[in-house]
Amino acid sequence: MPRFDPALYSFHRETPEADDYRRLRAVSGLSPKSEEAARRGLPNTLHAVVVRFEDRAVAMGRVVGDGGAFFQIVDMAVEPAHQGRGIGKAIFAALMDWLHENAPDSAYVSLIADGAARHLYAQFGFEPVMPASIGMALRVQAR
């Protein structure tokens, strides 16, 4: 499979549109998000990258958090047809560049690594936090 080709893909430092966000999460195997969750959450993005192929969003990644003490990398998603070309790595590198330029000393940057993605994140210095800490989560369900 061909590697990332900047002549074919365009990078945009912008928050994804809600429809693209929801579609990219679904097709890349991330948990689905409701329209309301996307509408509320996306404006709180600190930094994001959207990658387009033929003017269509095919990949994304975001940084969220309080802008000072805590940052979290979320929504790393690449459409399956475009995976394996280095797009995810390029997005992650752009997010890390932004963090290095904007996060103050002592900021804590976290993420949840699904499956083999941990190998990509390790290339950027991320390490498992166990056994000192363990990640925990709660998914809110409609009542």
Sheet holding 47-53, edge to edge: 9-12, 47-53, 56-65, 70-78, 108-111
> Residue 62: which of 13, 18, 20 has the closest Cα?
13
> Residue 95: which of 103, 85, 105 has the closest Cα?
103
What is the per-residue pLDDT across 68-115, written as a single tens digit (0 to 9) for each?
999 999 999 999 999 999 999 999 999 999 999 999 999 999 999 988
What is the per-residue pLDDT across 27-59, written as a single tens digit (0 to 9) for each?
999 999 999 999 999 999 999 999 999 999 999
At 136 the pLDDT is 87
CATH for 9-122 is 3.40.630.30
Residue 66: CB atoms within 10 Å = 10
Domain spans in the chain, listed from the N-terminal domain onward: 9-122
